[in-house]
Chain A
């Protein structure tokens, strides 16, 4: 499951480029999203949630009004996995459309 070093080198830069950061102390990626208002933030979260359900891979997240902090990590392998990358990509896609 866990991403190998090579895979990380391949995939993470893309995510890093759009703002995903690696969390200190754990093998996870994190990003803060900022929306115009709560509606949009929650709409975004809803989309992500639906997708997460579909992928059966759920994020750790925090939301206050128009901010959403998302941390992605795979529990079963205690680190990053492909699912995180997938979800992160999807999240990026949605957040762009949400503006």
Chain B
């Protein structure tokens, strides 16, 4: 179709020219932006040429072909000034072109960072892939990303190209939406300008609003019928339009990001596969890695077959397992929601001394899992932050558990922060923190609650490998009862994930392994929150609730590698130092603070997208729990 259009355009242009219209007249009629037709002339002034690579013109009989040939070179240069995709003809008049230039000039005078934020938010609002900008402006993708996200300086010329693209894109999109009903979508505005480049349309991408709707629907029913899917299609498109500030009746203007039944169907299918995959991983972990000699005998004691702590995590993660450990720990487990957490703690207690080994082995197993990223093909979107979050709590929709998890990470930070042990997998990191807390309490199989407080106070560099289990116990206690909203949970998970992500870079895998270590924390049931989390910067999340955290112990969250976000140390006293290493300065402080720290560290660590907006809620809650437990 595209080629036909261009051919028709060629025909029409040829007709125009043959009708006696001189090239010059035509160019002038087209307006300033398109002076590439000048015979024998290349008025492609660096200052103003529109690259306008018009393929169709190349074939015009009146010798425009050569013009185009030379145009290509200038186009590249022109990229810096004007997006090559711009069709001169689209600029209805020279006034419009001049207007656009004026706007670009204004933007150039503005503070680059502020404009960058505007452009970035526009990209997010309309779900435009960076690739499109890169293709049309000729900017370097990495440079562009850094400029938009971090404010890395960009030269004026390049910024001009970017702003020009921005201005034109806005016009395109506006046209798209106004012609929504007419189907008059212009290929180039939405897709690549060159037909040969990656096809015509941008790849479809789910927006956060749509994902939220879908996750909620997924919770209600994993397998919607066609009618339900269609309903969801309408809902999602409406939400996407609203997000873009457009009337929902103009949904066609969404272009490549229009939600269709097929896409909804695929989304549900992928989520189901993901869940099955996580379940499978959990099953493997549960029964797979053989426990060490020590753990062997102790394991039976826990009533959880196989790996005690590890078992817990998988069970927690998957509702199936849930029952088993829960039963064994019934005594300790307060409630179903708190069950997983509790169960974890219970076994931990018992295995405290011996448990270390199993946990250790578990950890190693986890590590393996992490490194290998699972044998079976992971579900489609396992790479998404959301996904990772989901994984941790596939079967569980209990936020409280999440909270606990969150707390666990915090503890971890406090821990010895052995890079070695932590390095390979995040589980280690988590473990380390936990270990710290537990280290002090190890000897005593102190109930989790108690240990929390005590362990916190005695934060010392503890070997991760062993103490991992005990540390888990601590966090378990307080948060057990916390019924955190899904979002917070997600946030926690996200945070937990962050450090993990850093290590393994595989959200789902990381989560899984993490689950092993921190069974409770890993349960992220609220997938919807995941999306929210994903979109939220971790640092922000953490800090909002900081004030809640009881004494921020100067836990240094392992700011880690991820640091994608600027951590806004608003309140978190303790979290301030998000350090790149996951070395946690032993800060024998409140568990809540540890939780907080953890969260922040997580956030900083890694997946910024993992941080949920409700993070603050979680933190608050956790801190409350911690406080009570420590007492």
Contact = CB atoms under 8 A, between A and B. Distances in A.
Contacts of A43: 8, 10-12, 14-15
Interface string B363-407: 000000000000000000000000000000000000000000000
Interface stretch (A11-19, A22-30, A46-54): A46-54
Interface string A34-48: 000111101100110
A83 B16 CA distance: 21
A51 B14 CA distance: 13
Nearest to A97: B18
Dominant SS among interface residues on chain A: helix
A43 B10 CA distance: 8
B7 A39 contact: yes
Contacts of A47: 15, 18-19
B12 to A, nearest CB: 5
Most buried by B among A37, A40, A50, A51: A50
Most buried by A among B4, B7, B11, B14: B11
Contacts of A42: 8, 11-12
Nearest to A47: B15
A79 B12 CA distance: 31
Contacts of B4: 37-39
* Range for the number of chain A residues in contact with chain B: 10 to 19
Nearest to B4: A39
A47 B11 CA distance: 9
Contacts, number: 31
A50 B11 contact: no
A50 B16 contact: yes
A21 B19 CA distance: 27
Nearest to A45: B15
Contacts of B8: 38-39, 42-43
Contacts of A39: 4, 7-8, 10-11
Interface string B8-29: 1011101110111000000000
A59 to B, nearest CB: 15
Contacts of B15: 43, 46-47, 50
B23 to A, nearest CB: 16
B363 to A, nearest CB: 67
Contacts of B11: 39-40, 42-43, 46
Most buried by A among B4, B7, B15: B15
A50 B12 CA distance: 10
Contacts of A37: 4
Interface string B32-76: 000000000000000000000000000000000000000000000
B16 A46 contact: yes
B19 A54 contact: yes
Contacts of A40: 11
A50 B14 contact: no
Interface in A30-83: 37-40, 42-43, 46-47, 50-51, 54
Contacts of A51: 19
Nearest to A49: B15
A50 B7 contact: no
Contacts of A54: 19-20
A37 B1 CA distance: 13
B15 to A, nearest CB: 4
A51 B20 CA distance: 9
Contacts of B12: 42-43, 46
Interface in B125-167: none
Contacts of B7: 39
Nearest to B5: A39
A40 B7 CA distance: 9
Contacts of B16: 46, 50
A54 B20 CA distance: 10
Contacts of B14: 43
A97 to B, nearest CB: 9
Interface string A83-96: 00000000000000
A51 B21 CA distance: 12
A40 B14 CA distance: 11
A51 B15 CA distance: 10
B56 to A, nearest CB: 11
A43 B14 CA distance: 8
A85 B14 CA distance: 24
Nearest to B18: A47
Contacts of A46: 11-12, 15-16
Most buried by B among A40, A47, A51: A47
A43 B9 CA distance: 8
A58 B511 CA distance: 74
A43 B17 CA distance: 12
A73 B18 CA distance: 25
A65 to B, nearest CB: 12
Most buried by B among A38, A40, A46, A51: A46
A39 B8 CA distance: 5
B180 to A, nearest CB: 25
A43 B13 CA distance: 9
A8 B286 CA distance: 99
B59 to A, nearest CB: 12
A38 B19 CA distance: 20
A13 B4 CA distance: 37
B249 to A, nearest CB: 31
A16 B312 CA distance: 94
Contacts of B20: 54
A39 B14 CA distance: 12
A25 B78 CA distance: 61
Nearest to A40: B11
Contacts of A50: 15-16, 19
B67 to A, nearest CB: 20
Contacts of B19: 47, 50-51, 54
A37 B10 CA distance: 14
A43 B7 CA distance: 9
Interface in B531-576: none
A89 to B, nearest CB: 16
Given A39-B10, A39-B11, A46-B11, 10 more contacts: A37-B4, A38-B4, A39-B4, A39-B7, A43-B8, A43-B11, A46-B15, A47-B19, A50-B16, A51-B19
17 contacts: A39-B4, A39-B8, A39-B10, A39-B11, A42-B11, A43-B11, A43-B12, A43-B15, A46-B12, A46-B15, A47-B19, A50-B15, A50-B16, A50-B19, A51-B19, A54-B19, A54-B20
Q: Which 3 A-B pairs have the closest CB atoms?
A: A43-B11, A50-B19, A46-B15
Interface of B: 4, 7-8, 10-12, 14-16, 18-20
